Amino acid sequence: MKRFSIAVGLTAVGALVISGCAPGDGGDAGDDSGLVEGSSITAAWNQAFYSMNGNTSFGNATANNNINYLVLDGFNYYNNTPELVQNTSFGTYELVSEDPLTVTYTVNEGVNWSDGTPIDAADLMLTWAALSRALDTPDFDPNEFTDPETGEFTDAFPEDVVFFNSGATQGSRFGLVTQTPEISEDGQSITLTYDAPYVDWELAFGSLGTILPAHVVAKNALGLEDNEEAKQAVLDAIDSEDAASLASVSSAWNNIFNFTEMPEDSELVTASGPYIISDFVADQYVTLTANPEYSGDNAANIEEITVRFIPDPLAAVQALENGEVDIIQPQATADITTALEGIEGITVDASVGGTYEHVDLQFDQARNPENIFANPDVREAFLKTIPRQEILETLIRPIIGDEAILRDSQIFVPGADGYEEAVAANGSDAYNDVDIEGARQLLEQSGVTNTEVCLLYASNNPRRVNEFALIQQSANEAGFNVTDCGAENWSALLGTPGAYDASLFGWQSTSLGVTDWTANFVTGGINNLSFYSNSRIDEISQEISSEFDPEAQKELQIEADRILFEDAFGVTIFQFPEVTAISDRVTNVSSSILAPTVFWNAWDWEVTDADTEE
């Protein structure tokens, strides 16, 4: 199970996910909102929604989290400045103590799920159990129970293990909260005590799109019918560390929110945010309708938002021109910018975004029977063949001109403090130019006899199809046999044992956290889809978690960046060009450099020609 996106260069980096303010001040939105009955708009995205649980390695994708951000409320979110906004209409959090680090989270009275059930400590406790994995069965490895064709867990997955598929690792984020939190007497608060200081504590819990309904999970897991009884069952299982009940609860948390069309069980779309999923047609669209139970500050202005799934960027442009969609943010190509120039009644913004393209290699669990990239010579050889400059010049520069740039760091975003220092020290210049002869020599000395490299990418994305063709041609000249593992469900296959040997996709930034990059590289991290492991990287991930000095943080990141290039983890290619096009019939739309980009303030959008019901 896997999914993700990556951070941008505003300060350093933040959390990643796999890649799809009110104007004026960029601050809290929604104070002036007023629902216009009968109003509707349609936006387009390049990948279909498939999971309402973006906390799992399977569901952690931009295509999912765009939607989850709007249907699951939480304690904070980023505006488009970007700066972190505390969502005090949902609840509050308080730093109780710095030593030991202790934080109390409180959900406001009167905040409900869309079925009327109050949101309270049971929902927060389930979130802690899932994101900390403190109650998981020790040393359990789920990889042998993952279907290489779909990326989902198989029917053979053992029923007696506790395993929350959140990728939490010891010594980082909620992996630092191993003690069971305390619940307040009124049942509205929980208090977390960290095992060690954690610099990004404010980002560790309960942002928009994170907290799932405990009563829905427990009803599915334990066969209960009453909502309050179900919530209490979650609390009891956690308090008593009841392994049998927790095994069922963790399985339900991992799996029940994965669906590719409207589920028969309507409880699975129970929402807490300004919108609720009201319709979902496989591979076509998902429709969000204003949540009548929502009482927060970010109340919807538009009654219905439909997100259509249009993988082909030119088809998205055509839909915009035809008036079938109002907002698009397609994978940018030169043809896209040209096509948009001829459309009247739209606003277009083109710039460098917060996502970067990259190729990752499978260190273990590869498709190749010789596990080809377990050999460091072969890793280096393959990376020497990636035509980074050609990809930039032929596919990216025609879109945004000289602003198009290569990215030469796994951790720092171009322009961020520390980027130039990292690039000077990390050895990335070894991949500035294609070196076929050097690659051929390394491949020959490796002793590898099966040189097949199955490359996973989005087969319905024209730009990635072109990138694959350029990589295939170049690598094959050095003696590799690059085969086409392109798939429409590529993101579900990321990190799936036996599914591929190398992958081509984008990471998109979700936060400005100092430590969130570690999830990509630490052993067992949620975004470590390559089965990569380096003891020093693991040490750095723990050291930086407790490091509050910015200069010391930067030095640790620079060291980690160098190690990743020394290990030939993979290679970065370019920062994404981002093109957003908006119909003039929609106002208050602006994109953020962080995920969920254009959706960050969807509750603020307004239509200029709304049809209203009398």
Write out pLDDT tens, residues 357-401.
999 999 999 999 999 999 999 999 999 999 999 999 999 888 777
pLDDT of residue 331: 83
In the numeric block, the tokens 């991949």 are attached to 431
Least confident of 44-58, 237-251, 513-527: 513-527
Is the preceding peptide bond at 82 cis, omega within 30 degrees of 0? Answer: yes
Which tokens sit at 524? 């067992």
pLDDT of residue 429: 96
Instruction: Give the residue among 373, 355, 382, 408 at the shortest CA–CA distance from 531.
Output: 373
Q: Pick from 601, 523, 613, 534: which is nearest to 567 by CA? A: 534
3-state secondary structure (DSSP) of residue 359? strand
Distance CA 391, CA 457 (A): 15
pLDDT band, very low/low/confident/very high, at 15 (cuts 50, 70, 90):
low
- pLDDT band for 408, please (50, 70, 90 cuts): very high
Question: What pLDDT does 427 receive?
Answer: 97
What pLDDT score was predicted for residue 514?
92
In percent, how much of the chain has pLDDT > 90?
79
Tell me what the pLDDT averaged over the chain comes to.
91
Query: What average pLDDT does this structure show over 277-281?
Result: 98
Phi-psi region of 547 (alpha: psi -120 to 50; beta: other; left: phi over 0): beta
pLDDT of residue 398: 84
Residue the block writes with tokens 């560790």: 204
Q: Between 298 and 508, where is the model more confident?
A: 298
Is pLDDT above 60 for 14? no
- Cβ–Cβ < 8 Å for 279, 286: yes
Query: In Å, how far are 15, 198, 379, 519, 521 from 542, measured between CA atoms?
Result: 16, 9, 27, 11, 12
The model's confidence at residue 6, banded by pLDDT at 50, 70 and 90, is: very low
Say if residue 351's pLDDT is above 80: no
Residue with tokens 């579900």: 492
SS3 assignment for 366-399: CCCCCCHHHCHHHHHHHHHCCCHHHHHHHHHHHH
Of 521, 557, 546, nearest to 416 by C-alpha is: 557
Number of C-beta neighbours around residue 144 at 10 A:
11
* pLDDT value, residue 30: 40
SS3 318: helix
Please name which of 211, 274, 336, 285 lies closest in space to residue 599, comparing C-alpha atoms.
274
Query: For the residues 551-555, what does the mean pLDDT come to?
Result: 97
Query: Under DSSP, is residue 591 helix (H, G, I), strand (E, B) or coil?
Result: coil
Q: State the pLDDT confidence band at 143, using cuts at 50, 70 and 90.
A: confident
Residue 100: is the preceding peptide bond cis (ω within 30°)? yes
Environment class of residue 405 by beta-carbon count within 10 Å: exposed (0-12), middle (13-18) or buried (19+)?
middle
Residue 511 contacts residue 14 (beta carbons within 8 Å): yes
Residue 119 has pLDDT above 60, yes or no: yes
For the segment 417-421, the average pLDDT, to the nearest whole number, is 94
Q: Which tokens in the block code for residue 392?
A: 């930039």
Residue 396 carries which DSSP code? I
Say what the pLDDT of residue 588 is: 96
Residue recorded with tokens 């002869």: 437
Q: What is the DSSP string of 42-73?
A: EEEESS---BS-TTSTTT-BHHHHHHHHHHS-
Q: Is the pLDDT of residue 138 over 80?
A: yes
Q: For tokens 């694959």, what's the residue?
A: 468
Cα separation, 426 vs 406, in Å, equals: 15
CB distance 569 to 319 below 8 Å: no
Residue 221 scores a pLDDT above 90: yes
pLDDT tens track for 234-266: 999 999 999 999 999 999 999 999 999 999 999
Cα(132)–Cα(463) distance, rounded to whole angstroms? 38
Helices 462-477/313-321 angle, 10° precision? 160
Distance of CA 552 to the CA centre of its chain: 27
Please name the amino acid found at residue 563: I
Mean pLDDT of 482-507: 95
At residue 341, φ and ψ (nearest 5 deg) are -65, -25
What is the 8-class DSSP label of residue 447? T
CATH architecture designation of domain 80-268: Alpha-Beta Complex (3.90)
**In this structure, are residues 221 and 252 in contact, taking their beta carbons and an 8 Å threshold?**
yes
353/505: higher pLDDT = 505
What stretch of H or E contains 537? helix 535-545
Read off the pLDDT band of 458 (50, 70, 90).
very high
**Backbone phi, psi, residue 454, to 5°:** -85, 115
